[in-house]
Amino acid sequence: MTLILCDVGPRDGLQNETEALKPAVRAELVNRLAAAGLPRVEAVSFVRADRVPQMAGAEEVVAGIHSRDGTEYSGLVLNEQGYERFAAAGLDRLNATLGATEEFNQRNGNASLAEAAERVERILAGAAEPVTVTISVAFGCPFEGRVDPARVAELATRFDGAEVVLADTIGVAVPREVRALVERTKAAGFHGHNTRNTGYANALAALEGGAQVLDASVGGLGGCPYAPRASGNVATEDLVYLLEHEGIETGVDLDALIRISEWLEAVLGRRLEGQVYRAGSFPIE
């Protein structure tokens, strides 16, 4: 199995921080993650600065990236305007996202579910770059509760040709549900939050279900501005530790990830959610 780990810390991680970091600092984070051997880094989102001020200056961040062979750099968009900015910036991979429920789409993208799906289809039709489609709140929504797996499966079939990632945006899923929905949708990837301490088990379940892409965030940074009480993503270094000890090669330098989290702790001035950067690694026998 070829596993792709995508670190979403520079985007999904930092967008939930109270303090907005300068573009140069965000670009440095991207560069440090690439140097640690991450095969994919989600660098920015092209959204309105008045809606998500932590993501302002996306083009400046991209300008500060030192492209590394072996790392794919992605950017997130919600609509056609975002795609225009993405295309001009010149990143490698597009991440178009929508929610699985009406209310989440209204709160996150000012659109109905039908409108959001149609927007993604239009973006897919015109995109020259490889595309990931992330279906947010695929397992549970902060506004509508449990999500019918049939609805998610129907959505996934609409994005033929794209890499579909299922997101447990508020961290309510358990491994049985993740494995079943990945199998049912044939989704390529899983994006998990560790809100209820199920994120790491869910990541393994996604792999068992056939996923080949796992999102994680350095230090366990993250959340969602439009999802109340959604805490951080699974920590990239914690996930790498788990996978490597399970015999699944990641190609990522765990010690380098630990150093990045230590640096981020100083930058943000607080302890991060991850465990491994504080506990340290342990030799694989």
Residue 222 Ramachandran class (φ > 0 left, ψ -120 to 50 alpha, else beta):
left
Q: How many residues does the chain have?
A: 285
* Phi, psi values for residue 100, rounded to 5°: -90, 0
- Measured distance CA(6)–CA(236) in Å, rounded: 9
Which residues, other chains included, contact 263 with Cβ-Cβ below 8 Å and sequence gap of 6+?
Answer: 32
Written as six digits, the tokens of 180 are 């079943």
- Measured distance CA(140)–CA(50) in Å, rounded: 27
Of 34, 156, 224, 257, catalytic? 224
| E strand intervals along the chain | 4-7, 40-45, 72-77, 93-99, 131-136, 140-141, 145-146, 163-168, 189-192, 213-216
According to DSSP, the β-strands at 140-141 and 145-146 are antiparallel
Whether 224 is catalytic: yes
Which residues, other chains included, contact 60 with Cβ-Cβ below 8 Å and sequence gap of 6+?
Answer: 23, 24, 27
Which residues, other chains included, contact 154 with Cβ-Cβ below 8 Å and sequence gap of 6+?
Answer: none
**Active site residues per annotation:** 224
